[in-house]
Amino acid sequence: MKLLSNSTPLLAVILLISNVASADAAGDTITQDELVRRTQDLCDAVAPGNQEPWKKYFADDCIFADEKGRTMDKAALVADITPMPDGYSGTIKVVNAKSRIYADTAVLSYDLNETETIFGQNLTARYHTTDTWLRRNSAWQIIASQAHRYYEDPAIGKFDPRKFADFTGSYELGPGQTRTVFADGDKLFIERKGKKEELLPETSELFFRKGVEGRILFRHNDRDKVEALIDRRNNEDVVWRKMK
């Protein structure tokens, strides 16, 4: 066998180079566990306002769309990471993670369970986020992230069933488009084309339907009589006028 030097066979050098290349390639790969670990690092940095993981794991040309409808670049995103005010504390846990990893791209989809304490009052929220990680120059960073908050019904509040009589009746949106409000004991219902739903009271005059985002409220005229049903969705109103 021909020697590269007095002591190192050529085959050994080839094997050494091959092993180094394999190790480098393996170092460039990423696993779901590692993605989750990094994501948890980002979450753990939120309450103390630690910007370092956000600088490290987000690409300079990233796009970040949050649950509030804001779209930010990296500079705005990092600037948004600030310590929680005095009297506030909280944690965010990554759960239900799923991933798809192909060559230089990895997608991680997961839920976030948030708990927050504000001067002794406990709040919870649930979010779903999808991150796209991209490998460039042997480094994995998030190039795009999008989050939304899971809808949750408000708490049922105190109400006065005696007020239900003011709300009952038929309401018209347009020709042939009507819905009816009626009471059954201490419960209020709305029905349209055979579909009946309970109107759950948030207050005596503000209602919601289970699993449906938005509110139902009733508009009074100058004589304090109900003249319309308001179907409010994302601060926009669809008005159903009460039929005589």
Q: What is the pLDDT of residues 109-145, one digit of tens each?
A: 999 999 999 999 999 999 999 999 999 999 999 999 9
Q: Is residue 173 pLDDT above 50, yes or no? A: yes
Distant-in-sequence, close-in-space partners of 64: CB < 8 Å, separation ≥ 6: 58, 71, 72, 73, 74, 76, 77, 144, 145
- Rounded to the nearest angstrom, the gap between the alpha carbon of residue 168 and the centroid of all alpha carbons in its chain is 36
Cα–Cα distance measured from residue 167 to residue 172, given in angstroms and rounded to the nearest whole number: 14
Domain boundaries in the chain? Answer: 11-149, 161-242
- Contact between residue 154 and residue 225 where contact means Cβ atoms under 8 Å apart: no
Is 154 a residue whose pLDDT tops 60? yes
* Cα 197 from Cα 25, distance rounded (Å): 58
Name the strand (E) or helix (H) holding 78. Answer: helix 74-79
Structure tokens at 72: 């930010």
pLDDT band for 6, please (50, 70, 90 cuts). Answer: very low
Write out the H or E segment, with its range, that includes residue 179.
strand 177-184
Give the mean model confidence (pLDDT) for residues 56-78: 96
The strands making up 71-72's β-sheet, listed across from edge to edge, are: 71-72, 58-65, 139-149, 121-136, 105-118, 88-102
Average pLDDT over residues 25-45: 89
What's the longest Cα–Cα distance across the chain?
108
Q: Which residues contact 38 (CB under 8 A, 6 or more apart)?
A: 53, 57
Q: What is the mean pLDDT of the chain?
A: 88
pLDDT above 50: residue 15? no
Q: What is the mean pLDDT of residues 11-27?
A: 40
Of the two residues 146 and 234, the one the predictor is more confident about is 146
User: What pLDDT, on a 0 to 100 scale, did the predictor assign at position 14?
Assistant: 38
**Cα 188 to Cα 126: distance, rounded to the nearest angstrom:** 29
pLDDT band at 27 (very low <50, low <70, confident <90, very high): low
* 3-class state of residue 116 by DSSP: strand
For domain 11-149, give its CATH number from 1.10.760.10, 3.50.50.60, 3.10.450.50, 3.30.200.20.
Answer: 3.10.450.50
For residue 76, pLDDT beyond 60: yes
The residue written with tokens 């779901």 in the block is 32
Residue 46's CB: how many other CB atoms inside 10 A?
A: 19
Q: Where does 161-242 sit in CATH, by number?
A: 2.40.128.50
Structure confidence by residue, pLDDT tens digits, 191-230: 998 899 999 999 888 999 999 989 999 999 999 899 999 9
Instruction: Give the bridge partners for 201, in sequence order.
Output: 207
